[in-house]
Amino acid sequence: IANKNLLLMPGDGIGPEVMTQAKRVLNWLQETKRASFNIEEELVGGASIDAHGVPLTDAALAKAKAADAVLFGSVGGPKWDKVPFNIRPEAGLLKLRSELQVFANLRPAKVFDALAAASSLKPDLVRGLDIMIVRECIGGIYFGEPRGIETLPNGEQKGVNTEVYTTHEIQRVGRVAFELARKRQNRVCSVEKANVMEAGLLWRQVMTKLKAEEFPDVELSHMYADNCAMQLAKNPKQFDVIVTGNLFGDILSDLAAMLTGSLGLLPSATLGAKDASGRIPGFYEPIHGSAPDIAGKGVANPLAEVLSLAMLLRYSFDMQEDADAIEAAVERVLAKAGRTPDIKAEGRPTISTSEMGDALIAEL
């Protein structure tokens, strides 16, 4: 097993707490000789602002680029509310995604059997749910120019952001969605507001052409973003793979995750294109945020971070068996161990972040 370079970026809020448990799983992988990693760690977000004045240093970025994969925690919190916009904590995350060129953010919304009752939706609507949302991640209104706040001659201010998508940007994320669908139920739903936005109209046209030319075997449907939010709330199981832009993906994937009732359990993988040496840049983070309200209390659920590590093993290191082993251990822990407060259930003791880590290591 070759030595893999892994960069850990715990970030802010509950990020460091959940990362600590993911590190225990990494240790387990090394101690049991399943793998050997060169592991480094870097600050990002508010933690990096506090130490270095910027949310991502050039040195940290260079290490992320050099690494074979990056495991990320979460960034942001009220502590940095007054920081200037261009160096706010989130800018560190966005710069990482953009500089690593990881354009396809894979966000599974999956309901764990043991947790169907935890959803705010009626159990029948979510039991067995397994959607994959593919969110374009380095384009759209998050990065489009012009942007900024300017003062008008009359003293008013004007805030501007620009949604931009090109054929190429749409195609490459579209291909990821179609490829994934082929390994699943073979259905892609492409989401935009083509009835209101030209950028959405182009999105729809490019997806339609891509399907016809390269994926005639995959079913493609189109849906407006507002309707998609409704359909997710009404009957989420109608979806297999959803592909959408950065902003709609942000909202719809969070919504889908919340509907599973398992937000503290959901990982994500963000992948780029294969480079000349055959390497695919991979960036892994839980769907949940930094949750400042519970940070430092030792009550956060570490399983989303651990499952992000499992995705990392699967997609970046091709370690299918170890990924399977971790995912199976998580299922067993959910079936019998105590629960962190986010997924608390009658008859189950409430346990802490580190106790959840204990339970997981015991299962492994």
Ligand X SMILES: CC(C)[C@H](C(=O)O)[C@@H](O)C(=O)O
| Candidate segments 87-95, 232-240, 309-317, 338-346, binder of ligand X by CB under 6 A | 87-95
Judged by CB under 8 A, which of 121, 207, 242, 325 binds its own copies?
121
Report the phi/psi class of residue 77: left, alpha or beta, with left for phi > 0 and alpha for psi in -120 to 50.
left
78 is in an annotated binding site: yes
229 is in an annotated binding site: no
Which residues on neighbouring strands pair with residue 110, listed in sequence order? 130
Nearest residue (beta carbon) to ligand X: 90
**Residue with structure tokens 């947790």?**
115
For strand 219-224 and strand 187-192, is the pairing parallel, antiparallel, or unpaired?
Answer: parallel
x-marked contacts with ligand X along 207-246 as a string, rule CB under 6 A: -------------------x--------------------
Marked catalytic residue, from 12, 68, 254, 342: 254
* 17 neighbors 264 (Cβ within 8 angstroms): no
Q: Report in angstroms how near the CB of residue 181 gets to ligand X at its nearest.
A: 22
x-marked contacts with its own copies along 164-193 as a string, rule CB under 8 A: xxxxx------------------------x
Marked catalytic residue, from 12, 68, 240, 250: 250
254 is in an annotated binding site: yes
DSSP per-residue string spanning 265-329: G-EEEEE----TTS---EEEEESS---TTTTTTT-S--HHHHHHHHHHHHHTS--HHHHHHHHHH
The CA–CA distances, whole Å, from 8 to 61, 64, 77, 224 equal 12, 9, 20, 37
193 is an active site residue:
yes
Tell me which H or E stretch contains 229: helix 225-234
Q: Report in angstroms how near the CB of residue 94 gets to ligand X at its nearest.
A: 6
- Within positions 117 to 156, which residues make up the interface with ligand X, using CB under 6 A? none
* 241 neighbors 184 (Cβ within 8 angstroms): yes
Q: Is 255 in the site for its own copies (CB under 8 A)?
A: yes
Which tokens sit at 133?
A: 């949302």
Q: Is 305 in the site for ligand X (CB under 6 A)?
A: no
Residue 217 binding result from ligand X, its own copies, none, given CB thresholds of 5 to 8 Å by partner type: none
Judged by CB under 8 A, which of 160, 212, 328, 335 binds its own copies?
160
**Residue of 34, 114, 23 whose CA lies nearest to 308:** 23
Q: Is 350 in the site for its own copies (CB under 8 A)?
A: no
Which residues on neighbouring strands pair with residue 283, listed in sequence order? 70, 270
Which burial class, exposed, middle or buried, applies to 24 when counting CB atoms under 10 A from its CB (0-12, 13-18, 19+)? middle
* 275 neighbors 125 (Cβ within 8 angstroms): no
Q: Is 238 in the site for its own copies (CB under 8 A)?
A: no
Q: Is 85 in the site for its own copies (CB under 8 A)?
A: yes
Report the phi/psi class of residue 25: left, alpha or beta, with left for phi > 0 and alpha for psi in -120 to 50.
alpha
**Residue 350 per-residue DSSP state:** B
Nearer to its own copies, 299 or 333 (CB): 299
Judged by CB under 8 A, which of 30, 36, 227, 350 binds its own copies?
227
Judged by CB under 6 A, which of 90, 192, 240, 305 binds ligand X?
90
| Contacts to ligand X by CB under 6 A | 76, 90, 93-94, 195-196, 226, 250
Binding residues for Mg(2+): 226, 250, 254
Binding residues for substrate: 97, 107, 135, 226
The residues annotated with a catalytic role in the active site are 142, 193, 226, 250, 254
Binding residues: 77-90, 97, 107, 135, 226, 250, 254, 289-301
